[in-house]
């Protein structure tokens, strides 16, 4: 899967019914916010055109902590920089898959709102900083 073919970043929780021993993900976000890279983005590990991200924990009854959400946002922001057209979604939004994943208490609506506004602003700020680092206008 070339980066240009990536369309979605799909968020799961640890209690995802599809999280079996053979299920693979690209990224795993621990409760501490620490991120493990489990597969290269060029590799298809689940659905076509998807970067699969799993958050450690079960969010059926409790909300993920701030550190973990921050870790997730950092991964999504980096992805957005590499794949500007990427859309972010929760597993349960995938048509035909009967699941509550990433859990009823996962703040999906909040994350989607952020991805539509804050993420773009953060991406632009990051790009601007990048450009400024590489380009110094003559005096
Ligand atoms: Zn899932």
**Domains delineated in the chain:** 3-134 (3.40.80.10)
The rounded Å distance from CA 104 to ligand 1 centre is 12
The rounded Å distance from CA 98 to ligand 1 centre is 10
The rounded Å distance from CA 16 to ligand 1 centre is 4
The rounded Å distance from CA 13 to ligand 1 centre is 6
The model's confidence at residue 82, banded by pLDDT at 50, 70 and 90, is confident
- 15-36 in b/e form (b: 16+ CB < 10 A) is bbeebeeeeebbbbbeeebebe
Mean pLDDT within 24-44: 92
Mean pLDDT over the full length of the chain: 88
pLDDT digits (tens, 9 = 90+) for 13-29: 999 987 665 678 999 99
pTM of the model: 0.84
Q: Report which of 55, 44, 37 is spatially closest to residue 105, judged by C-alpha positions.
A: 55
């Amino acid at each position: 899967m070339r980066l240009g073919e990536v369309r979605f970043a799909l968020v799961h929780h640890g209690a995802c019914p599809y999280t079996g021993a053979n299920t693979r993900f690209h990224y795993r976000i621990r409760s501490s916010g620490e991120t493990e890279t489990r597969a290269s983005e060029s590799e298809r590990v689940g659905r076509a055109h998807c970067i699969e991200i799993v958050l450690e924990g079960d969010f059926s009854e409790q909300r993920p902590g701030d550190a973990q959400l921050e870790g997730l946002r950092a991964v999504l922001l980096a992805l957005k920089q590499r794949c500007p057209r990427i859309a972010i979604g929760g597993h349960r939004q995938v048509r035909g898959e009967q699941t509550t994943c990433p859990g009823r208490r996962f703040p999906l609506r909040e994350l989607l709102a952020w991805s539509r506004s804050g993420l773009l602003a953060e991406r632009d700020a990051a790009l601007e900083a990048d450009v400024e680092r590489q380009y110094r206008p003559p005096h």
